[in-house]
């Protein structure tokens, strides 16, 4: 898929990126090259290939998922302007 400068200009506008007119042809070539590379990857047959998180078979260390309060409530509330009964207080925003 080849992009022309008009398409790059539209993409830049949608992304809210200011691109000078002089750079549009260069960016069109670069983006077209990237899209060609992605098309090459799309052509690779991956049927039967297991998803992987690493190129090396490794088992990540696991720990028990235990819920705690962290035990540092006082330190956390030390920066609060007006803590009350162990909680942050915030102004009322809904009436």
Query: Residue 32 is encoded by which pair of tokens?
Result: 């077209």
What's the pLDDT band for 8 if we cut at 50, 70, 90?
very high
pLDDT, tens digit, for every residue of 21-30? 999 999 999 9
Residue ranges covered by each domain of the chain: 5-42
pLDDT, tens digit, for every residue of 14-56? 999 999 999 999 999 999 999 999 999 988 998 988 888 888 8
pLDDT at residue 1 greater than cutoff 80: no
Whole-prediction pTM: 0.50
């Amino acid at each position: 898929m080849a992009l022309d400068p008009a398409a790059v200009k539209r993409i830049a506008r949608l992304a809210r990126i200011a691109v000078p007119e002089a750079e549009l042809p260069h960016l069109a070539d670069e983006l077209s090259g990237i899209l060609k590379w992605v098309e090459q990857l799309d052509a690779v047959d991956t049927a039967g290939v297991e998803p992987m998180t690493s190129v090396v078979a490794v088992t990540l260390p696991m720990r028990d998922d235990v819920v705690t309060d962290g035990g540092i409530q006082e330190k956390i509330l030390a920066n609060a302007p007006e803590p009350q009964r162990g909680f942050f207080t915030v102004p009322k925003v809904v009436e």
